Each structure stands twice: as structure tokens, then as C-alpha cells.
């Protein structure tokens, strides 16, 4: 095992990683921007290093600063968390050149999956079902229109370098292709500095279902079941649950095995998530994330497996501590992402938390780095915490979530807690009857009913 791990992240995930390190007896180094000097991960780490000013580009994305922090503190490995440098292959290469272990997959696999066109080709070669569409990138809108005519409208024009739902546009007809293509391409150029585009069938009402995998890099891989992340706003996940209310045991087994076999063939190392759209009993690969995900605790809740500890073990060259036959799924778990945002307009709401009371009790986990008196800085993502509840059944889980939300108090800033109080008492959610369009429709309907009132 490593003797000292540097955590190249902030907020709740920095704390999550720190906790796993402590339980494994590993020393921790926190890095932080000047805006995060008072952050909880800085207070709880064994050592901390200031790596730059508030802007993420100058701090959490500043590779030379982070490598220097490793050298000053003698850290032998870096955990990148999610976001920031977690899917940056160049960062993994630079760390390797300095003899520091990147806790994640190989730089080659990060590159492969970071390019969605290559990722899709790889998925096909590994036997993973994909969304019908162009074979590789398309040169211009005329080629996009030709492919769209073959697969049928509507189609989605997507950026190979895409992420965070940016660089994608729907085209409903041949007349629409040029506009969609040009808009998506300029968005991709601005956001990613890469304008390679591809075309895919636009699925009308799918669910977003993803499979968690862990590989040892030597050809052994296990799947830890699926998560349903269909409740999204602007392609950003809001509520995640496991198991998916839409899958039966046979479907779960089939997609899990497909993914585990594929990752075993690839020789994948560490934690990864293969994302699918699911419609009418069929799975369609959309992308693979080569890192820990925000919603990993729902999988931990139903499997009892500490995914971060497992990442650390594999990165340190130990075998996986789990075999597929040992993985069992118990009960149901739901995660709510609590953002410092207005619950109706979703405008960011940074500022000082004047009162903070998290819920407690059986079957409940709050992953958050905030505390009473903490000032949420305006410079970063607005996620301030995650509420994860576990119950023996989905009904028990929903009842527990409802009472946990009643207990949760965050004053001084606005949060998305009221949105979750609405969702937990909604009949569609109670019945598990929702797809990736449901939340946007629900929000639009609440806005128009307010206008009428």
C-alpha cells in the first residue's frame, strides 16, 4: 500500500478519499486554492499545500503545482477524484514520469475512452451494444445528413470530445441538420478545442442506466451492478438509484456480464463506469467514464464494498479483494445531489452557511464537506453534499429519504433540498416511472403552473 496519498481535488470527494486513506492507514496530503484555505479536507488531512489562486485553472487544474506539492510532501500516489484532472491522460503521464502513481486506469485507456468516437468503436469491438449511428467521425453536415437519412430522424449530432452535456444538438429533419451540426460544432470547438463530430440515433424516451466495474489491469474484472441516473436536468444527474426500478434480474445479469467481460478483455484497471441508454429492453452504450463517479455511494450502499479502498488497492498493485461470485446486492439506495442553487431557477447561491443540521439515523449517509459557518465559494461546482439512503426495499428507502429530507437544514444559502422534497412525494417517482426527459418536463410544468397561479 502507499504510504502517502495526495488528493488532487476539493469538496465532498476530497473528504471521501481522505476517509478511505485513513481507514487503510495511509497518510494524506490535501491541496487547496486560496479560496479553500478553510475547507474541511484541508483541516482533516495530515498535511496540506496551497497550490494557487481561486480559479481552478490556476489551482486544481495546475499540473506543475500539483506535481511540486507531491515532491515537497513526498506523496507516492495521487487520487484525482472526479472532474478536474481525473480524466486527463497527460496528467497521468506526467505523474508516471515523476515516479508517482496515478490512482486510476492507464493513460492509454483514459485517452481511448475520452474520445467518444474511439470509445464507441472500442465498445463495438468488445461486444458492447451501441446506439446506431455513424462509423467514426463525420466530415461535414452533408455527410451527417446522409447518415441521418439511413438511420432515420431524429438524430443527435455529438462532439467526440464531449462532456457535461455540451457539444450535442438534435436534428429533427434534413432541413435541420446543417443548423444542428454547425451549432454543436462551434460549441465543441469553444468548450473542448476539438471539433470532431459524430452522428447517432436520438432515442425518444430512454432511461440512463450505467454499470459500475472494477478491474485489476491483469484481465480480471467484476461488475457491481447498475445505477439508474435518468433524473437529469440539462444532462446533469440530480438523483441516482440502485438497483434500477426498470430492470429485472435477467437484464441486470446480462448487461453486468457483458460489461465485466469487455473490461476483462480490455485489461482495464481501477474503477470505471460504462453508461447506457436503455429503451424497450435494449441497452445502447453512450460512453465510459474512467474514474470514480459522484454517485458511487449508491453502489457502495447495496454491495457493502468501499470503492475508493478498492481503487487504492488495485493502484498499489494488489489484487481485487472481490470476486464476482462474492458480490451480492442488498436492498435499495437513492442519492440526492444537494447543490447550493435556487431550487427553481438553479442560479448558484454561494455564501455563508449560518446554520447546518444534517439528518441521521439508520441507513443514511451524508457525504459533504460543509459545516456551520462555512462559506461556499463562488468559484467551483455548486455541489455541497450528497444524501444517500439505504433501505431493505425501494418503498422503505423512499420513506427514509422523505424523513431524512425533513430533518435536513441548511440556512444562509439556497439549496436544492426543496426540489427533492417535491420529488420524493411525486407518484411517478414513487412508482419508478421516469425516463431521461421526466425531470425537465416536471420542472417546466411547475414553472407554468406557478404562472397561472
For 360, counting Cβ atoms within 10 Å of its Cβ (0-12 exposed, 13-18 middle, 19+ buried), the class is exposed
d(CA 246, CA 257): 18
CB atoms within 10 A of CB 372: 13
- Residue 400 is among the residues annotated as catalytic for this protein: no
| Helices 394-407, 417-424: crossing angle, 10 deg rounding | 140
CB neighbourhood size of 110 (10 A): 21
Binding interface with ligand ADP (CB under 6 A):
131, 156, 162-165, 200-203, 206, 208, 232, 235, 275, 277, 286-287, 436
Write down the least CB distance from residue 200 to ligand ADP, Å: 4
> What contacts 78, CB < 8 A, 6 or more positions away?
5, 6, 7, 8, 66, 70, 95, 100, 101, 102, 103
Q: Least CB distance from residue 220 to ligand ADP, whole Å? A: 27
Q: Which is nearer to ligand ADP, 202 or 420 (CB)?
A: 202
For ligand ADP, the closer CB: 11 or 162: 162
**Closest distance of CB 56 from ligand ADP, Å:** 19
Q: Are 268 and 109 in contact (CB under 8 A)?
A: yes
By beta-carbon proximity to ligand ADP, the closer residue of 2 and 284 is: 284
Nearest C-alpha neighbor of 381 from the set 80, 9, 8, 4: 9
Least Å distance, CB 118 to ligand ADP, is 14
Residue closer to ligand ADP by CB (options 18, 199) is 199
State the minimum distance, in angstroms, from the CB of residue 131 to ligand ADP. Answer: 5
DSSP conformational letter for 57: G
**Between residues 242 and 327, which has the closer beta carbon with respect to ligand ADP?**
242
Beta carbons of 79 and 17 less than 8 angstroms apart = yes
Marked catalytic residue, from 111, 185, 291, 394? 291
Torsion of CA 104, 80, 307, 332, to 10 degrees: -120
Q: Which positions are annotated as active-site residues? A: 291
Amino acid at each position: 500500500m502507499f504510504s502517502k496519498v495526495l488528493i488532487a481535488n476539493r469538496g465532498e470527494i476530497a473528504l471521501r478519499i481522505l476517509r478511505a486513506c485513513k481507514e487503510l492507514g495511509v497518510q494524506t496530503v490535501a491541496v487547496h486554492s486560496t479560496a479553500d484555505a478553510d475547507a474541511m479536507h484541508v483541516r482533516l488531512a495530515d498535511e496540506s499545500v496551497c497550490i494557487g489562486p481561486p480559479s481552478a485553472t490556476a489551482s486544481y487544474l495546475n499540473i506543475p503545482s500539483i506535481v511540486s506539492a507531491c515532491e515537497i510532501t513526498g506523496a507516492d500516489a495521487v487520487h484525482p477524484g472526479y472532474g478536474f484532472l481525473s480524466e486527463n491522460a497527460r496528467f497521468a503521464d506526467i505523474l508516471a514520469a515523476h515516479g508517482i502513481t496515478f490512482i486510476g486506469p492507464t493513460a492509454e485507456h483514459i485517452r481511448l475512452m475520452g474520445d467518444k468516437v474511439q470509445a464507441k468503436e472500442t465498445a463495438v469491438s468488445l461486444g458492447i451494444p451501441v446506439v446506431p449511428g455513424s462509423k467514426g467521425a463525420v466530415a461535414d453536415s452533408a455527410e451527417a445528413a446522409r447518415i441521418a437519412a439511413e438511420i432515420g430522424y431524429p438524430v443527435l449530432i455529438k462532439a467526440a470530445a464531449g462532456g457535461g452535456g455540451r457539444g450535442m444538438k438534435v436534428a429533427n429533419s434534413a432541413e435541420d441538420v446543417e443548423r444542428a451540426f454547425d451549432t454543436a460544432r462551434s460549441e465543441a470547438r469553444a468548450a473542448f478545442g476539438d471539433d470532431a463530430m459524430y452522428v447517432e440515433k436520438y432515442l425518444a424516451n430512454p432511461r440512463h442506466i450505467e454499470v459500475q466495474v472494477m478491474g485489476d489491469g491483469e484481465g480480471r474484472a467484476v461488475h457491481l451492478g447498475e445505477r439508474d441516473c435518468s433524473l437529469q436536468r440539462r444532462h446533469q444527474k440530480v438523483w441516482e438509484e440502485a438497483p434500477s426500478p426498470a430492470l429485472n434480474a435477467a437484464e441486470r445479469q446480462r448487461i453486468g456480464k457483458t460489461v465485466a467481460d469487455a473490461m476483462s478483455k480490455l485489461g482495464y484497471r481501477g474503477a470505471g463506469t460504462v453508461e447506457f441508454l436503455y429503451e424497450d429492453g435494449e441497452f445502447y452504450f453512450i460512453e465510459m467514464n474512467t474514474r470514480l463517479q459522484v454517485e458511487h455511494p449508491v453502489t457502495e450502499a447495496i454491495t457493502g464494498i468501499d470503492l475508493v479502498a478498492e481503487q487504492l488497492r488495485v493502484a498499489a498493485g494488489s489484487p481485487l479483494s472481490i470476486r464476482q461470485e462474492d458480490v451480492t446486492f442488498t436492498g435499495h439506495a437513492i442519492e440526492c445531489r444537494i447543490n447550493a442553487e435556487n431550487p427553481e431557477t438553479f442560479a448558484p447561491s454561494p455564501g455563508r452557511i449560518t446554520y447546518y443540521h444534517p439528518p441521521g439515523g439508520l441507513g443514511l449517509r451524508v457525504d459533504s464537506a460543509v459545516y456551520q459557518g462555512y462559506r461556499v465559494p463562488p468559484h467551483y461546482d455548486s455541489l455541497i453534499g450528497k444524501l444517500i439512503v439505504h433501505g431493505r426495499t425501494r418503498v422503505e428507502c423512499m420513506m427514509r429519504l422523505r424523513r431524512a429530507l425533513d430533518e435536513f437544514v441548511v440556512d444562509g444559502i439556497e439549496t436544492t433540498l426543496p426540489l427533492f422534497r417535491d420529488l420524493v412525494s411525486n407518484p411517478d417517482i414513487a412508482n419508478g416511472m421516469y425516463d431521461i426527459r421526466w425531470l425537465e418536463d416536471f420542472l417546466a410544468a411547475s414553472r407554468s403552473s406557478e404562472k397561472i397561479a
